[in-house]
Amino acid sequence: MTLPPDLAANPRLSTWLRVAADGVVTVRVGKVELGQGIVTALAQIAADELDVEFADVRMEPAGTAAGPDEGFTAGSLSVSTSGAALRQACAEVRALFAAAAADELGVEPADVAVHEGTFAAAGRELTYGALAARVDLDREATGDVEPKAADRLLLVGTDVARLDLPDKVTGRPRFVHDLRLPGQLFGRVVRPPSPAATLLDVDTGAVEARTGVRAVVRDGSFLGVVADDEPAADEAAEALRGNAQWKTEQSLPDEADLPAFLRGGPTDDTVVEESGTPEPGRVARTLKARYGKQFLAHGSMAPSCGVARWDDDAVTVWTHSQGVHPLRRAIASVLGMGVDAVTVRHVEGAGCYGHNGADDAAFDAVLLARAVPGRPVLLRWSRADELSWSPFGSAMSMDVEAGVDASGDVVTWSYELWSHGYTSRPGYAGNPGLLAARHLERPVEPAPPVDPALPSGGSHRNAVPGYAFPHLSVHAHRVLHTPLRTSAMRSLGAYGNVFAIESFLDELAEAAGRDPLEYRLAQLTDPRGRAVLESAADLAGWSTRGDEENVGHGIGYARYKSLSAYCAVIAEVETVSEIRVRRLAVAVDVGRVVNPDGVHNQIEGGAVQATSWTLKESVRFDRERVTSTDWASYPILRFSEVPAVDVRVVSRPDEPSLGSGEAVQGPAAAAIGNAVADALGVRVRDLPITPERVVAAIERSS
């Protein structure tokens, strides 16, 4: 059989696994813990495939010095890609050990029984540990061994407690922010006051003379300081800020009219889909609408952080990046160094929902640490920098138009979207992807963000509705002028596209006087899609929903990336003095489930975050600078605003595993939008659905 791609790219078994004489199996994967529980799920896969006790598996953090290169941990792909590679590697390792055991015991490999880390035959037993010295894993995977069938897996499919949580509930050092290396110093960067500002002049002398200050670093418009401890670094940074003169520029678009900005500039255009045949004769009626979304911030609870240490001409970096290898190559390329001179190790950060400031902070640390050779420098961003300098999820503007027949079913559908690209990760499409690179004396200018290829897509992710419409025309325009930095954020364009498509579907159902669930099922042929819709409807009690005043119900559905997890959401909202999402009923089909509680946790968290995006969030800016720089100007959902989230996982043990981390974002937004429209009788087509927008919609309709 052919090897899973990540194993084919990293074929040496010893890259993935090591077995020690005490029976402990050390596993290295290229995927990283982002708070999503992936490392625990991969440990389950390894223990199951090897037939060892879960407690005997040790997961090593990813790094460039050892272990496989699996690119980025992104796109909800880790269980399917890394899981498949690890499963195959473990199956082969198990077979090698079984063969060694058979040899030792003088029996045929087929006669060896493997159970809980022991190989038994002819009344004798050998352990992994006892055989470790006899089995050389420094060899390539062959693809000749079949992994176990689904029904023979014991751990996969069960709730295994997360490996990282005991440290986190007791406050033990676990995050990169907690690293304390010998001789460590602390750094701060003084960012320009606005995206297009450049540094004219700064008096560094007074700051350099302060006690506790080790170095002031200036390189072009990059300005930073290294000090003995965090308070000294903070004070020095403030002093530097006070001494710096910047040239500013009114480079930002009008926040109040983003559609005009997005549609006004040069674009790179893609035909996402043209299929079927238009039958104008069947069109009884044509409807159209325009939808939109604002820029969104990641808003991780921890500001980005990185540690770096230079030793002669080599640098070691500790980072919460999503991709240690791409970061390594990006650092080497911006600094004109050989890749071998850069070592990158992963250390956990706070929750990561896409391309945030992690790589940038790592590079900041590298630039600062260069001034203090041999000393590690821990660089942490401020909350304001985190909210204004991390890449944003792009604003979008979408036009949708449908011709429907006499019963209201879609005959022809056209959809057009305008958005920045959704990826500017380090190294992606030639982009250095490191913020400070653009501020250096010899700057590396960023290229406009790009989009991952279709069918999964970027800004055009989920731009194609999953329904059986007889004629489809879908076009995407990638906006090239990017005064605000954008990149990957959880679900990329799917959040905006599914919101638009599923909102419009409700508009069509309403125009036809049909029930939104029935309307969708009538045009959806994919059985797995139908199953999640029906399951969510059942969970939410759709058919018996009441007609309470100021309460509305709405549906949202999509198959994530058009090829991954299926998800349907039914929202119940209350619109008395504010908009409150009372409950989200979510049904998902993620194929074979590795850790059911992990899937529940991801879906619940995704649904809550999507509720926050949908009701509250919008990056604020004037023509010069980003103004949403703290939790008052960029509010997110609070405990008292969090909906109940009920999750039902439609079990498909024989289907390949599909990622769960991003599937709910779009359907949740659409369900909430549709529920608000149901409650109020007017529709808000622009995200976020704020009280101001509701009032405006009511005024427009009256």
Indicate whether 173 belongs to the interface with another protein (CB under 8 A).
Answer: yes
Binding partner of residue 180 among ligand FES, another protein, none, CB cut-off 5 to 8 Å per kind: another protein
Indicate whether 183 belongs to the interface with another protein (CB under 8 A).
Answer: no
Site residues (vs ligand FES, CB under 6 A): 35, 301, 350-351
First to last CA, the chain: 65
Q: Are 545 and 538 in contact (CB under 8 A)?
A: no
Instruction: Rank residues 114 and 636 by Cβ distance to another protein and give the closer one.
Output: 636
Indicate whether 350 belongs to the interface with another protein (CB under 8 A).
Answer: yes
Instruction: Rank residues 557 and 613 by Cβ distance to another protein and give the closer one.
Output: 613
Q: How far is the CB of 31 from ligand FES (least distance, A)?
A: 18
Find the binder of another protein among 240, 262, 331, 352 (CB under 8 A): 352
How big, in percent rounded to 5, are the helix, strand and coil portions of the chain?
35, 25, 40
Binding partner of residue 302 among ligand FES, another protein, none, CB cut-off 5 to 8 Å per kind: another protein
By DSSP bridging, strand 377-380 and strand 185-189 are parallel
Instruction: Rank residues 326 and 349 by Cβ distance to ligand FES and give the closer one.
Output: 349
Structure tokens of 271? 């035909």
CA atoms within 13 A on the CB side of 337: 19
Q: How far is the CB of 487 from another protein (least distance, A)?
A: 17
- Residue 25 in 3-state DSSP? strand
Q: Any residues with CB less than 8 A from the CB of 471 and at least 6 apart, and which?
A: 275, 276, 277, 278, 279, 411, 412, 413
Q: How far is the CB of 384 from ligand FES (least distance, A)?
A: 12
Instruction: Rank residues 557 and 613 by Cβ distance to ligand FES and give the closer one.
Output: 613
Q: What is the DSSP letter of 336?
A: T
Ramachandran angles phi, psi of 587, nearest 5°? -115, 130
Instruction: Rank residues 381 and 413 by Cβ distance to another protein and give the closer one.
Output: 381
Find the binder of another protein among 166, 264, 656, 691 (CB under 8 A): 166
Indicate whether 238 belongs to the interface with another protein (CB under 8 A).
Answer: no
Task: Calculate ∠ Cα 622-293-448, nearest 5°.
Answer: 70
Instruction: Rank residues 69 and 228 by Cβ distance to another protein and give the closer one.
Output: 228
Indicate whether 165 belongs to the interface with another protein (CB under 8 A).
Answer: yes
Q: How far is the CB of 254 from ligand FES (least distance, A)?
A: 32
Instruction: Rank residues 188 and 460 by Cβ distance to another protein and give the closer one.
Output: 188
Binding partner of residue 125 among ligand FES, another protein, none, CB cut-off 5 to 8 Å per kind: none
Q: Is 209 exposed, middle or buried (0-12, 13-18, 19+ CB in 10 A)?
A: exposed
By DSSP bridging, strand 118-121 and strand 113-115 are antiparallel
Choose among 552, 556, 455, 414: nearest CA to 496: 556
Give the x-and-dash track for 112-151 against another protein (CB under 8 A).
----------------------------------------
Q: In what order do the strands lie in the sheet with 25-28?
A: 17-19, 25-28, 57-60
Binding partner of residue 124 among ligand FES, another protein, none, CB cut-off 5 to 8 Å per kind: none
Indicate whether 438 belongs to the interface with another protein (CB under 8 A).
Answer: no
Binding partner of residue 333 among another protein, ligand FES, none, CB cut-off 5 to 8 Å per kind: none
Q: How far is the CB of 682 from ligand FES (least distance, A)?
A: 34
Handedness of CA 505, 509, 511, 512 (dihedral sign): positive
Instruction: Rank residues 54 and 175 by Cβ distance to another protein and give the closer one.
Output: 175
Q: How far is the CB of 167 from another protein (least distance, A)?
A: 8
Give the x-and-dash track for 491-530 against another protein (CB under 8 A).
----------------------------------------
Binding partner of residue 280 among ligand FES, another protein, none, CB cut-off 5 to 8 Å per kind: none
Indicate whether 349 belongs to the interface with another protein (CB under 8 A).
Answer: yes
Q: In what order do the strands lie in the sheet with 396-404?
A: 267-276, 471-479, 410-419, 396-404, 285-293, 686-687
What b/e sequence results for 76-113 when a residue is b if at least 16 CB atoms lie within 10 Å of its CB, and e otherwise? bbbbbbbbbbbbbbbbbbbbbbbbbbbebbeeeeeebe
Handedness of CA 480, 484, 485, 487 (dihedral sign): negative
Find the binder of another protein among 55, 110, 149, 169 (CB under 8 A): 169
- Cα distance between residue 346 and residue 18, in whole Å: 19
HEC string for 571-621: EEEEECCCEEEEEEEEEEECCCCCCHHHHHHHHHHHHHHHHHHHHHCCCCE
- Cα distance between residue 543 and residue 559, in whole Å: 23
Instruction: Rank residues 443 and 605 by Cβ distance to ligand FES and give the closer one.
Output: 605
Q: Give, as ranges, the residues between 594 and 623 that touch another protein (CB under 8 A).
A: 597, 601-602, 604-609, 612
Find the binder of another protein among 630, 654, 655, 692 (CB under 8 A): 630
Q: Any residues with CB less than 8 A from the CB of 398 and at least 6 apart, and which?
A: 290, 291, 292, 415, 416, 417, 418, 496, 497, 500
Structure tokens of 393? 């999820």
Ramachandran angles phi, psi of 247, nearest 5°? -100, 120
Q: How far is the CB of 593 from ligand FES (least distance, A)?
A: 21
Indicate whether 351 belongs to the interface with another protein (CB under 8 A).
Answer: yes
Find the binder of another protein among 5, 183, 231, 374 (CB under 8 A): 231
Indicate whether 300 belongs to the interface with another protein (CB under 8 A).
Answer: yes
Q: How far is the CB of 301 from ligand FES (least distance, A)?
A: 4
Indicate whether 164 belongs to the interface with another protein (CB under 8 A).
Answer: yes
Q: Any residues with CB less than 8 A from the CB of 152 and at least 6 apart, and which?
A: none
Indicate whether 301 belongs to the interface with another protein (CB under 8 A).
Answer: yes
Rg, C-alpha atoms of the chain? 27
Binding partner of residue 231 among another protein, ligand FES, none, CB cut-off 5 to 8 Å per kind: another protein
- Residue 329 in 3-state DSSP? helix
Q: Are 582 and 572 in contact (CB under 8 A)?
A: yes
Q: How far is the CB of 663 from another protein (least distance, A)?
A: 14
Instruction: Rank residues 272 and 637 by Cβ distance to ligand FES and give the closer one.
Output: 637
Q: How far is the CB of 646 from another protein (least distance, A)?
A: 10
Q: Are 603 and 595 in contact (CB under 8 A)?
A: no
Using CB under 8 A as the criterion, which residues of the chain lie in contact with another protein when the complex forms?
A: 34-37, 159, 161-162, 164-175, 177-178, 180, 229-231, 299-303, 348-353, 380, 382-383, 597, 601-602, 604-609, 612, 630-632, 636-640, 642, 644-645
